[in-house]
Every structure is written in C-alpha cells, then in structure tokens.
Amino acid sequence: MAMDYRLDSPKILLEFLSYHETVKAHSQKTVDEYYLDLRNFLRYIRQLHEPEFIGLKLDQIDIRDIDIDFIRSITLTDVYSYLAYLSRDRLQRPNSEKSNKGLSASSRARKVATLRSFFNYLCNKVHLLPENPIQDIDSPKIRKTLPCYLTLDESIRLLETVDGPNSERDLCILTLFLNCGLRISELIGLNRSDIQDDALRVLGKGNKVRIVYLNKACKDAIVMYLQVRPVIGGKDQDALFVSRNRQRISRATVHSLVKKHLAEAGLDSQKYSSHKLRHTAATLMLQNGVDVKAVQEVLGHEHLNTTEIYTHIDNDSLRIAAKANPLSHVKIKEKSKE
C-alpha cells in the first residue's frame, strides 16, 4: 500500500515526491524510500538547528511547516553531522528494541543519493536554491564483494529435483530466474499477455520495459505450466504465476518456494535466494561467451558497471589467461635445508 505523504510532509517535500512519481516515473517503492529518507533527514536537521526539539525522539518532530528558508540554512557540515549520526546512532531496524546501531556503508550511500537528488531538484529543476550545499559531498566507500551464484551443475541439479505440488509452476519460475536473470519484482508482475512467441515483455525498475528472449527451456517450461495453470477471475486474471489462493503470486511465496527447492536439491538455502539465481544467470551467460553489454540488456541494468562486477568472477577464461603467462612454466628451485 502506498504511503500517504500528506500526513506529515511539508509542501516542498510533497512537490519533490510528485516530481519523481510523475515526471521521472519512478516506482512507488523508490518514491517511498525517498520520502522516508528525507523525512528522517529533515527531522534530524530541525533538531540540530532548533533548541526546542533537543531531547525529543526524531519521530516526535513535526516537519510540516518546513519551508525553503529552512532548506537554505542547511550546510555541508550539517549533512556530514547527519551522516555521522547514521553511522553511529541510527537503529538498523527502527521498530525493534533489540536493533543494533549504525547503518552499513551501502545504506548510508543510498541516503546520500537521496539527498543529492533532492538538492539537485531544488537547484536545477525548480531553481529555489542558488547553490547546492552538497555538490562536493563524498559518499561512504562501499566494500565491493563478488556475487554469490550457483555453478552449472548445481543449477541443473536444482531444476532436476523440482517435484511435488505446483511443480510445473515452480519449475517454470526457477527456469526463468536461471535463464533470464529476472528480478523477483519483475517475475511476480508478469502477465500471460507479456509472452509474445519467443519473447517476454518485462516491466523493470523505474517502469522501464525491456524484451527478454526465451530459449527452448523457458518456452517448454511455460507451455507445461500454462497447461495446468488455474483459471482465475478478477484483477489478477491475466497474472502469469498464480498462488494456491488463485491470486497473483506474492514475493513471499516466491522466496519460500525457491528456498524449499534449494534445500531439496541439497543446496544451502541460507546462502542462496531468488536474487542469487539472477546472479547465476548473469555469471553463466558471461562464462559462456555472451558479451557484457548483451548481459546488461538482458538484466535491465541502467549502467554497465553494475553488470561488469560479474566479469570478475572466477571462470575458465581466467584460468586460461593465467596458464598462458610465459612465466607459468618456470620452476622454482627449492632452497636446501641446513
């Protein structure tokens, strides 16, 4: 359910959110995250600037009367103070009394991205600020880790062990994850009308549509599933994947069935997930000679550097490159022991 921003947002924030929802066509989830990030930021800055709010919890601070004059008073030093608060004192799970404090570098970097978007909007789109106070802000450094993925043999084993109730549906879901690299939000949003011969119309991030071509395994899995797919009515009647309650399948159900089949295949269901199957699809394509730009199109990545992380994963081509080094055959003499 979409959040009602009108309850506790100032006019300037509502206009920013409306801009991203209508002009930028960002997803509701993205707009919700902007709202939560900026509400927390404005509450913190108000407490920092105005003594009457000192001692209150941030969620007790009203920001509805904040205007452009207040925004103009925000300095780069204020923003760095906010980032220090996020790093040291912000609860990782605000609604839990047992939550640890201090957000990860990736969470803080996302909030910096929100602030950049907000101040760029005020400076460059509606021209309410003469200068951008955070133009030179540094983002927290994020430690890059290699994606976790299944090997080819593990992927085959996962597909071959699918059995039990809803096996046709579950096999089709796993096949699309492993062959097309879909996000879970993209998979649950698929409709039967999105299937066009050997192509699949996918609605990705930011409501961007892309076409993913289906190989024989995907087409066969879809045909087998559609033969047993329940007929449903109402708003979900065109949904491709249907739950046992005869509704569009939910994110939670997909997570659950992926974990179930991973465990049944003897794979670590704690280590792997539906998103790791997306990593697997990307890795297997690159390992088998697909150009990185083609993989970018398949995955729906906006930036190539997001896809390029998969090129650093250990694979046969890297082993061949290592063995091709002329120094690879040089024998190292053992030192004599005294």
Confidence check: pLDDT of 320 > 70: no
Q: Over pLDDT 70: what percentage of the chain?
A: 84
Nearest to 38 by CA among 82, 72, 97: 82
- Catalytic positions are 183, 205, 275, 278, 301, 310
Lowest mean pLDDT among 243-252, 262-271, 287-296: 287-296
Q: What SS3 class is residue 112? A: helix
Top mean pLDDT of 2-11, 64-73, 206-215 is at: 64-73
pLDDT bucket at 1, cuts 50 / 70 / 90: very low
What's the confidence (pLDDT) of residue 201? Answer: 92
Confidence check: pLDDT of 338 > 80: no
pLDDT bucket at 148, cuts 50 / 70 / 90: confident
| Mean pLDDT, all residues of the chain | 85
Lowest mean pLDDT among 24-33, 266-275, 283-292, 324-333: 324-333
Lowest mean pLDDT among 56-60, 62-66, 143-147, 272-276: 143-147
Lowest mean pLDDT among 113-127, 171-185, 288-302: 288-302
pTM: predicted TM-score of the whole model, two decimal places = 0.65
What's the confidence (pLDDT) of residue 325? Answer: 62
Confidence check: pLDDT of 294 > 60: yes
Which is more confident, 230 or 143?
230
Q: What is the pLDDT of residues 28-37, one digit of tens each?
A: 888 899 999 9
pLDDT bucket at 62, cuts 50 / 70 / 90: very high
Confidence check: pLDDT of 317 > 50: yes
Alpha helices in the chain (DSSP H): 11-18, 28-49, 68-72, 76-88, 105-120, 152-160, 167-180, 184-188, 216-226, 251-264, 274-287, 292-299, 304-308, 316-324
CA–CA dist 64, 99 (Å, integer): 28
Q: What is the pLDDT of residues 232-256, one digit of tens each?
A: 888 899 999 999 889 999 999 999 9
CA–CA dist 201, 260 (Å, integer): 28
